[in-house]
Chains A and B, each alone.
Chain A
Amino acid sequence: MPDIDSPATLAELLDHHDYLADEGLATAAYLAVRMGRPLFLEGEAGVGKTELAKTLAAILGAPLIRLQCYEGLDAAQALYDWDFARQLLHLKAAEAAGAADAGALEGEIYDRRFLIARPLLRALETQPSVLLVDEVDRADDEFEAFLLEVLSDFTITIPELGTISAVTPPVVVVTSNRTREVHDALKRRCLYHWLEHPGFDLEVAILLRRLPGCTERLASDVARAAGRLRAADLVKPPGIAETLDWAEALLTLGAAELNPDLAAVTLGAVLKYREDQETVRARRLLAAPAAPVRDSSDGTRGRG
């Protein structure tokens, strides 16, 4: 593991792995690593929340263990499950061999080798590791309760087996798109960071870094257009992920700059809602040659 002794060092390391982080995010990630506290990242979809976890894993040379949340996610999917098919086989075999002591059988059956580790347990058992709990707002409140238990002391209690705890806790990144307010008890265990869309300069830098063939002209055209789309109050304002897709699509078409015709045919790479595409066409948002745009939209969005 590399020596991370300040937010600036971490920012540099992230930079080496082509993830450009500003001071706030670098400090957040640095503290998460140093304090052993989960990092709760909130922000619009596509601002690089998931990507941060992946990059941290690459930097720390640790495997990334990902838990994608969904409604109804339960302990058997998130923590552990017993491999009951193998347990039954073992029982049958023991029966055939003439073993009859129920107490001994129970001890054999509820053994670590019959336990299937799901992401949370796997993260505690893998050292070092980076645990990504993705889109926690999609899970329900029952899931939050046992996630809280795991993140509080990095232990999992299995009634049949005992307590499993992490020797060194994994680096945890929890992301949320804020479709639902996550319980405060969970948040207070974490460091909280609200991730904004990148500003114009940062976005250009990201495009240039991530897409080797991209010219500065194309990158700034795309970033400017993306800024304009974000200011346009769409159903789904494009995140950095969409901007990257868009620039890549343009590159594939051999474009050196963004013009209205190219924008029209590649719109599907950046706007994924029919309403948004119609709004953009009706208001001719991408028709004029790109003029400078002010970054005014960001501060006002997402306040509850």
Chain B
Amino acid sequence: MADSAGGHPGTGRSAPPGPGTPREALAATLTGFARTLRAAGVGADHERTQSFLAALGHLDAARERDVYWAGRLTLCAVPGDIPRYDRCFAAYFSGLRPRPDRAATSVTVTRPTALPYGAEPEGTGEAGALPATASRIEVLRHRDVARMSEAERREVGALLALLDGARERRRSRRFRPAARGRLDGRRTVREAVRHGGDPARLLLRAHRDRPRRVVMAVDVSGSMAAYSDTLLRFAHALVRAQPAATEVFSAGTRLTRITAELRHRDPDRAMAACSAAIPDWSGGTRLGEEIKELLRLPDPRGAIVVIASDGWERGPAELLGAQMARLSRTAHRVIWVNPHKGDPEYRPLTAGIRAALPYVSDFVAGHSLAAFEDLAALLAGARARGPEGGGADA
């Protein structure tokens, strides 16, 4: 209601002069406006622009408010478009040169992955691309990605892309023909007609099954920097395998949906798109708030929720605990992936992880290729073995 009023110039005059008749001039002005919106990241394509012009045909094009609403109703598609639209509208129709949009132009594709090239910690002797022999891969499988060289990590990334994306199944409400099940009236009648009207054979149907949805949140805060790239690559493999049944979010100081970015076929391009989309790399984490948001946003009902984080929670631990409790009641299963768990010395001592653990069905490591393979098997329907998780909640 009040959101749109702010940015308005208040003048009713139309914008920059165009060529030809007033009608053409108007169309030129409005398509120019749509172009400005596209530059600002609003999906105002040709088809939508046509709708915009058609809508304005039913309204008063000389009235600024009518132009505003006709555009907003036809050119915007998600709530996030609306503030951008307001900004562009104010700028464009007050005759200013539209500001280049921040989100669209500041694509500095620097991935904050672990360590800069060449600064390998001790214990990583080999450098450069070595041939991927079976025994080398076997060694690589169990190594902690945080202690790898850039080349090795790239190799693991390539192997992650090949990960089996099989998914646990759940019963769908839809039906398929089956040998056992309920009566399928439609097919039975069809069959009866074919045989002269006698429903001699009763055909049956049963529920189909579908892949169970996975909702994954990847912590991209500073303390997870060594692992977030690998985790996102794992998420990419999940999205590629089951595009319709996977949602991925980055979790830093806020939750950002990155599923669309991860749909790129090429892992590196997907990572670049993520870098551009995630506004809070290497900040802190407010997991409690984010899980709350997660509960509201993608509706985790019936889904497997994967939270990849070390549990260094900046917000209050009680909030995290309370939200995890809700999550465990709503989701089908909650899996917590903590890369540090791969360390035999690791004990879940941080307040965040202690608050969360009682509500987690599986608590697994995510530090090496082998750990990711285990996680993938878990998502494919394997049962948990970890004793720490305890799976119990009230």
B1 touches A22 (CB 8 A): yes
* Number of residues of chain A lying within 8 A (CB) of chain B: 60
Contacts of B295 in A (CB 8 A): 235
Least Cβ distance of A72 to chain B in Å?
2
Chain B's closest residue to A5 (CB) is B58
B73 touches A193 (CB 8 A): yes
Interface check A46, CB cutoff 8 A: no
From the candidates A22, A100, A184, name the one contacting B196 in the complex (CB within 8 A). A100
A199 touches B2 (CB 8 A): yes
From the candidates A109, A188, A194, name the one contacting B79 in the complex (CB within 8 A). A194
B2 touches A91 (CB 8 A): no
Chain B's closest residue to A279 (CB) is B322
B55 touches A24 (CB 8 A): no
The complex places the Cα of A106 from the Cα of B55 at a distance, in Å, of 46
Contacts of A187 in B (CB 8 A): 77
Interface residues of B in 278-305 (CB under 8 A from A): 292, 295-299
Pick the most buried of B1, B188, B257, B292: most chain A CB atoms within 10 A of its CB: B1
B1 touches A82 (CB 8 A): no
B47 touches A188 (CB 8 A): yes
Interface check A142, CB cutoff 8 A: yes
* Number of residues of chain B lying within 8 A (CB) of chain A: 51
Pick the most buried of B3, B48, B55, B189: most chain A CB atoms within 10 A of its CB: B189
Interface check A252, CB cutoff 8 A: no
A27-B59, A87-B189, A192-B73 are contacts. A42–B79 as well, Cβ < 8 Å? Answer: yes
Interface check B136, CB cutoff 8 A: no
Chain B's closest residue to A71 (CB) is B173
Contacts of B48 in A (CB 8 A): 188
Interface check B162, CB cutoff 8 A: no
Contacts of B78 in A (CB 8 A): 181, 304
B172 touches A28 (CB 8 A): no
Stretch of A206-214, A240-248, A294-302 on the interface side:
A294-302
Chain A's closest residue to B173 (CB) is A72
Interface residues of B in 179-231 (CB under 8 A from A): 185-186, 188-189, 192-194, 196-199
Stretch of B62-70, B114-122, B264-272, B363-371 on the interface side:
B62-70
The complex places the Cα of A199 from the Cα of B5 at a distance, in Å, of 13
The complex places the Cα of A180 from the Cα of B2 at a distance, in Å, of 26
B194 touches A7 (CB 8 A): no
Contacts of A27 in B (CB 8 A): 59, 66, 69-70, 73
B192 touches A91 (CB 8 A): yes
A92-B197, A188-B77 are contacts. A82–B59 as well, Cβ < 8 Å? Answer: no
Interface residues of A in 163-181 (CB under 8 A from B): 178-181
Interface check B174, CB cutoff 8 A: yes
A31 touches B197 (CB 8 A): no
The complex places the Cα of A44 from the Cα of B324 at a distance, in Å, of 23
The complex places the Cα of A115 from the Cα of B186 at a distance, in Å, of 11
Interface check A267, CB cutoff 8 A: no
B79 touches A95 (CB 8 A): no
Chain B's closest residue to A81 (CB) is B186
Least Cβ distance of A127 to chain B in Å?
21
Interface residues of A in 92-115 (CB under 8 A from B): 92, 94-95, 99-100, 102, 105-106, 109
Least Cβ distance of B258 to chain A in Å?
11
Least Cβ distance of B276 to chain A in Å?
16
Contacts of B193 in A (CB 8 A): 91, 102, 105-106, 109
Please provide the 10 A-B residue pairs with the shortest distance between their CB atoms, ordered closest to farther: A72-B173, A84-B185, A179-B299, A91-B197, A27-B69, A95-B197, A191-B73, A34-B58, A87-B189, A84-B189
Interface pairs (7), CB distance under 8 Å: A27-B66, A31-B58, A91-B189, A92-B198, A102-B193, A180-B299, A194-B82
Which of B's residues lie within 8 Å of A, judged by CB? 1-4, 43, 47-48, 51, 54-55, 58-59, 65-66, 69-70, 72-74, 76-80, 82-83, 172-175, 185-186, 188-189, 192-194, 196-199, 244, 257, 292, 295-299, 322, 326
